[in-house]
Amino acid sequence: METPNTDQPRSEAQPLIAEYERTLRTTRALSDATVRNYVADLAPFQQYLDGQSCPLGSDAKELRDFVRRNGETNVSREYRSLVRDYVAWLLERRAVESGRAAGNRGHSRASVHRMLASLRSFMRYLIERGFLPDAPLWRPRSTLMGRLTPKLERRLPDLVSVAEATRLVEAPSRSDDGENRLRDAALLELLYGCGLRVSEAANLDRENVSLEERTVRVWGKGAKERQTPLGAKAKNALKAYLNSENTPDDKRGPLFRNARGERLGARSIQRIVRNYAKRSGLREDVHPHTLRHSYATHLLNGGADLRIVQELLGHSTPSATQVYTHVSQQEARRVYLAAHPLAHAPAPEHQDSE
């Protein structure tokens, strides 16, 4: 395949992507944020197709003509070549977001994984609509796609200790920001005490919280609903916040609001966490997901069952939760080496047999 020319007009694939977006919004139980992410991850693919002689960038009629001319074997080869070159292009080219150059480095391997998953979903849509021929590469759990996808470096979750997490969630009580102190205390208690994603916390409404039942109804990824238990401290923080004079009386509106009475956004929540982390003497890169990682790890360290932690986090499969067991095992080893009297005992001397 030729090197893509990013100065060419937009790809012919764009109308198909727009139709795909409409289909996602009307036929699948996905949140607006998830749909936006799916579509945004296809933007580099559009740029890749622009200006090169790849039949997948042509309109539907030309694609069907191409299939008739070449047959299934060559189509499969074309797919493989497309993905291989696209992956190399993503890893090597400048990262582009929202149409603007964002640096002189390629996309990370994690980003490439996500973009390929979005591309596979889009290609399955085109295949099911009859725009493209099917091929094993685009089928679920394709081993070929696995070989073409760059391997991810195994990274352990970013954590804070129990003492650090406690210091962070108690920081609003020491704050001189009287107007937002109760809101921020309730927010931090939910992020760490319930392990919420930042988007889940931002999307909470008043009616999602039941102080009587001590539960929070959360909508996670893929618009999946789950009930999360409220600990005593989180319940008390929420009760104080909801009963405060600064909290609007609207029982169905956003749970967390900014100074204008609007829903507190994800970026604002991230800034709040960073601000209190700095005040608490924690490192500057602490973010809401750090609290979620810590929530899961601290549960496992306390003896919680992996399956229960999976349910609490809203993970679809145990594999997504499995990484926390590795962190928990590392912590167990650290505690053992620090505390057990025989952890550093010298090896016994061998005695000669008589």
> Which residues, at least 6 apart from 194, have a Cβ–Cβ distance to it below 8 Å?
216, 218, 228, 229, 230, 231, 234, 295, 312
**Which secondary structure element, helix H or strand E, spans residue 97, and what is its range?**
strand 96-97
How many C-beta neighbours within 10 Å does residue 75 have?
21
- Which residues are tagged catalytic? 197, 221, 289, 292, 315, 324
172's tokens: 């609003």
For every residue of 178-231, DSSP letters joined together read: TTTHHHHHHHHHHHHHS---HHHHHT-BGGGEETTTTEEEEE-GGG-EEEEEPP
SS3 125: helix
Rounded to an integer, what distance in angstroms lies between the CA atom of residue 34 and that of residue 12? 24
What number of residues does the chain have? 354
Beta bridge partners of 263: 257
d(CA 169, CA 37): 30
219 vs 199: CA distance, rounded Å? 9
CB 60 within 8 A of CB 131: yes
| Adjacent-strand bridge partners of 257 | 263
- Of the candidates 135, 139, 127, 118, the one whose C-alpha atom is nearest the C-alpha of residue 44 is 118
